[in-house]
Amino acid sequence: MIKICSLFSGSSGNCIFISYNNTSILIDAGVSGRRIENALKSIGESFDNIAGIFITHEHSDHISGAGILSRRHKIPIFANTETWDAMRPFMGKLDSGNIRYIEPGETKTIGDVSVKPFPIPHDAACPVGYNIFIEDKKLTIATDIGHMNDLLLANLEKSDMILLESNHDIEMLMTGRYPWPLKQRILSDHGHLCNEMAGKVVAHLAQCGTKRFLLGHLSQENNFPELAYRTVCNALLEKNITPMKDVYLEVAMRDRASNVMYINTGA
């Protein structure tokens, strides 16, 4: 049985746990090492079986705990060449054996888990999302998305579970206190995905067969969980898809572990 839990998800830090049999991985480590250790403990896990940390991009809310965790637990960190070049100054001294490379389109298999990064549009060196393949299941992590395109959508389709960004409400962003240049960055083609677009994408993917959705990377200033959830629910209902009946939909928590999700293989 596959075990998935968003330990932290938001503009202040991100970390996702995925486990199958005796192989566990983290996607990103963007809060302190101690907070990640405590979050794992809260779901009955530890670093004993963590086989790797896979980094999506070099922004601090995705890497701030990675270096200390690698040193403390002797865990390899996987990222593409450009991301390593960008984040290396912020990682501290690492054992050379724990500096691993995985390029977009390349698949790495660790134990019973295969991981394949795909490009996403965001203002980072070489940002990626991840497809995780376990037995007959496909899980997808896709946040920090400036806009949807055909290649990105193709990587999302036919997933059994998706954690998708639902970062901001456009009206909240436009009327909020952020300076105009930051608002422009968030709204740009290399910024973040709004609730409305997340709803359209979720509805499309649900029509294509995906049954489990987590909404993640919510902005603390320009969104709140109920609004993101309601916006995506409305998009599903417009397509005659009933949330929590036809599909599972949940918002990932910002500051603590979300509900643990289990997926049976071979089903």
pTM strictly above 0.85: yes
Q: Where are the alpha helices (DSSP H) in the chain?
A: 33-42, 60-63, 66-73, 81-87, 150-156, 170-175, 180-187, 195-207, 225-238
What are the C-alpha distances in Å from 197 to residues 61, 80, 204, 219, 234?
22, 28, 11, 15, 12
What are the C-alpha distances in Å from 174 to residues 115, 171, 227?
37, 5, 16
Predicted pLDDT at 132: 98
Low-confidence ranges of the chain (pLDDT < 50): none
Q: Give bridge partners of residue 9 from the DSSP assignment.
A: none
Would the CA dihedral through 87, 91, 92, 95 be positive or negative?
A: negative
Q: Give bridge partners of residue 113 from the DSSP assignment.
A: 110
The phi and psi torsions of 243 (rounded to 5 degrees) equal -60, 145
Q: Which CATH architecture has domain 2-263?
A: 4-Layer Sandwich (3.60)
- Tell how strand 113-119 and strand 128-134 pair up: antiparallel
Predicted pLDDT at 244: 94
Q: Are 25 and 46 in contact (CB under 8 A)?
A: no
How far apart CA 167 and CA 199 sit, in angstroms, is 11
Predicted pLDDT at 267: 56
Predicted pLDDT at 212: 98
Q: Are 203 and 238 in contact (CB under 8 A)?
A: yes
Predicted pLDDT at 266: 78
